Structure 1
Amino acid sequence: MAVVPITRNEDEGGGMYHEMIMNLGSKCIWIPGPVIIGAGPSGLAVAACLKERGVPFLILEKESCVGSLWKLKTYDRLQLHLPKKFCELPYMPFPPEFPEYPTKEQFISYLEAYAKHFSIKPKFRQVVGSASYDSSLGFWRVKSNECEYMCRWLIVATGENAEPVLPDIPGISDFKGRVLHGSKYRDGAEFKGNKVLVVGCGNSGMEISLDLCNNCARVSLVVRDKLHILPREIFGTSTFGLSMWLMKWFPLKYVDKFLLLCSRMTLGDTKRNGIKRPEIGPIEQKNSTGKTPVLDIGAFAKIKSGQIKVVSGIRRFTTYGAEFADGHVEEFDSVVLATGYRSNVTSWLKEDNFFNQKDGYPKNPFPNNWKGRNGLYGVGFTKRGLLGASFDAKRVAEDISRRWNSETKHLRIKA
């Protein structure tokens, strides 16, 4: 086997590295530090943490930009659901002039500035087809559409929202109107005057319904399951921030009771408007199932006024509308599937010890969800948003840094 080392002087991928072209019939590149899959917030966070510790790395990103989910697959009116202090990536706060809840465009500009500040330069348009651990060599082999990379450590940072969930509802292929996933929805102006059915009542479904309503569409919102709706702020303070502070002093069940009391005082009894609450409280539900409560920014007022109509689960689609679980049938011009996203890790990562094959999440729950075997790590799979991703990034970088410094020191002594 002929091996030709090539030294690159430019700081490509965020750290200086050496390449080896192996004569195996295809290009094979050796990366001495970790390979990071994904240049979204999780990938950028762990890259910055590695950069601060002097560990070289390479980021592979399938799209042509950082933060591609935010830039390419979100609606225009999107804002961060939590205050900016809970959404900062490590070592760099948001600009002080940004509002408490930054907009989509502001968050994208923050990610781009973050990458520039830490000189993080991903390799774009690198679609990873497979990644597997070669036990005979002791390295990971990562195959993209261009070449193969070999590395000691592999960091999966593709996150919880890698691909859209498209539900298989009976008759949906026969519906003659427009059907699009929330990842394709941009602005309600193009639906003016339309009768629109929104499927999915999480934060995205609620906000898309509000946007449609504000653009003079006639909106029906499918609410199939029980859910918690909370005001985004209580007494002028972030509901999320307040709950985190209360959790330091009181048991979870009492904090949940307080949040539900405040919600009833602010929003009223949601059951009267067709939205039943789960038996367990919002924080307990989040911790046990990962399901996030809706933080209301105005959609529920539209529901109470009748401008957004709550409908039951769909039994089947018809040619021009839908039949619902309660038996009634309505016609619609368009359907927006606000049915969320899922992890796609198991479609390309060839291992079954760390990630669950069923849902693509680490098998171990938070906070022990970040490290697997053979130098495999995960960042951004906590079901705790950007705060959880930052927590993961720091722990992963610290662990790899210790190993990197130990191996580098050993090589220097040996030399």
Structure 2
Amino acid sequence: MTSIEHTQVVVIGGGQAGLAAGYHLRRLGLDFVILDAQAEPGGAWQHAWNSLRLFSPAAYSSLPGRPMPVQTGETYPDASHVVGYLTEFERRYELPLRRPVRVSGVHRDGRLLHVETDSGSWQARAVISATGTWWRPFLPAVPGRSDFRGRQLHTVEYRSPHDFAGQKVIVVGGGNSGAQIAADLAYESELTWVTQRPPRFLADDIDGRVLFDSATARRRALDEGSADTGGVASLGDIVAIPPVHDARDAGLLKASPMFVRLERDGVVWADGTMMSADAVIWCTGFRPALSHLAPLCLRGPRGHIPTAGTRAVAEPRLHLLGYGDWTGPASATLIGVGRPARDAAREIAELLRAEG
């Protein structure tokens, strides 16, 4: 017989959003467990490419309660530093993590939510879903993609420019991932950087601190019924961290318009120009990883679950955390997830008190 364990709150996901939720649940004295599908601490950061850098200095990239220490010799910490920080964070606060535990489904069960996993089941009075987006990479439906004989990979699979030394590589995507990976490849490969529109670099003195403040101000304006400030999108798309800044100023980050199709040996532009390629790297974003919530039948337009703050509108026992601005301003960032995590924990505590 499958074992069933009981707790007040189940947090699904042990990355930065899950840890922030755990911090606030612990402070409120609630009984909870964090179920993490990964075998080791660090969430998606442990799977990032080698040269990935944060957009902000360590002091502005912290989870609640514990400042991120400075990384020696680095203004913008790398992914391994973040993994170490998250590892120490969960140990410091003795958060109740179970790993590796993969959640297959969340079901209604009377007054409770029933959480099915590959190592037993849980019954809880509330659930926080904090699985992020890294596990659902998005690939656009570009004609001929299946015909291309070269190597194709998404951001999640890229590791090092040494894997592409001397090759003709096309990087698709005008966001931060595309710019960072293009800058990484610019020195060892024959790079072509392709974007849907001309890339928009933020001013060199803007980093994640300003982006967080801008996202927060936009959410506040919308909540108050004021004019839309435009938020981060009004500032630009790409933070010029040092490697991106250096490659740009060296003239190595010149973007080409998006091609219209792929062929066996390369890509073709709208004017018929064809270029051969050995590899295409799709830096084309992600979708929220929400398949475990399918039994609740909550999805709305674009795959999002309608929310009021972090709370699912149609299921008040469920909160979603860290998927993007629709679940809290800048909630997919280290610095931004703390506030919506606090709000989710407080709402859950109020719900449990009201139910008695």
TM class by shorter chain equals 0.7 to 0.9
What is the match of residue 126 of structure 1?
Answer: 101
Paired residue type of 2:45: W
What is the match of residue 282 of structure 2?
Answer: 337
Identity of matched residues, %:
26
SS in 2 for 1:172: coil
What is the match of residue 316 of structure 1?
Answer: 261
Structure 1 stretches of 4+ moved >4 Å:
96-99, 303-306, 403-407
Partners of 2:211 and 2:232 within 8 A in 1: no
Paired residue type of 1:319: R
What is the match of residue 210 of structure 2?
Answer: 241
User: What is the root-mean-square deviation of aligned Cα atoms in Å?
Assistant: 2.9
Query: Which residue among 67, 71, 78 is the counterpart of 2:46?
Result: 71
Which of these two proteins has the greater Rg computed from alpha carbons?
A: 1
Q: Is the counterpart of residue 286 in structure 1 residue 232 in structure 2? A: yes
Number of equivalenced pairs: 338
**Most deviating of 292-301 and 36-45:** 292-301
- Superposed, 1:207-286 pairs within 5 Å as 207-214=180-187, 216-225=188-197, 227-233=199-205, 238=207, 240-241=209-210, 244=213, 284=230, 286=232
Alpha carbons of structure 1 residues 203 and 346: separation in structure 2 relative to 1, 3 Å? same
- Listed as ranges, the gaps of 5+ residues in structure 1 are 1-25, 253-280, 411-415
Alpha carbons of structure 1 residues 352 and 286: separation in structure 2 relative to 1, 3 Å? farther
CA deviations 1:122-166 (Å, max 9, x no partner) are: 2223222211212xx211111112222211111111124331112
Paired residue type of 1:241: V
What is the match of residue 369 of structure 1?
Answer: 310
**TM value normalised by structure 2:** 0.84
Paired residue type of 2:237: P
Partners of 2:199 and 2:255 within 8 A in 1: no
Partners of 2:7 and 2:122 within 8 A in 1: no
- Alpha-carbon separation, structure 2, partners of 1:336 and 1:59: 34
- Listed as ranges, the gaps of 5+ residues in structure 2 are 222-227
What is the match of residue 356 of structure 1?
Answer: 300
**Most deviating of 58-67 and 109-118:** 58-67
Paired residue type of 1:395: D
Alpha carbons of structure 1 residues 369 and 239: separation in structure 2 relative to 1, 3 Å? closer
Report how far residue 233 of structure 1 moved: 1.6
Q: Is the counterpart of residue 93 in structure 1 residue 67 in structure 2? A: yes
- Alpha-carbon separation, structure 2, partners of 1:122 and 1:104: 21
Report how far residue 376 of structure 1 moved: 1.0
Report how far residue 403 of structure 1 moved: 4.4
- Alpha-carbon separation, structure 2, partners of 1:102 and 1:81: 9
Partners of 1:39 and 1:59 within 8 A in 2: yes
What is the match of residue 111 of structure 2?
Answer: 138
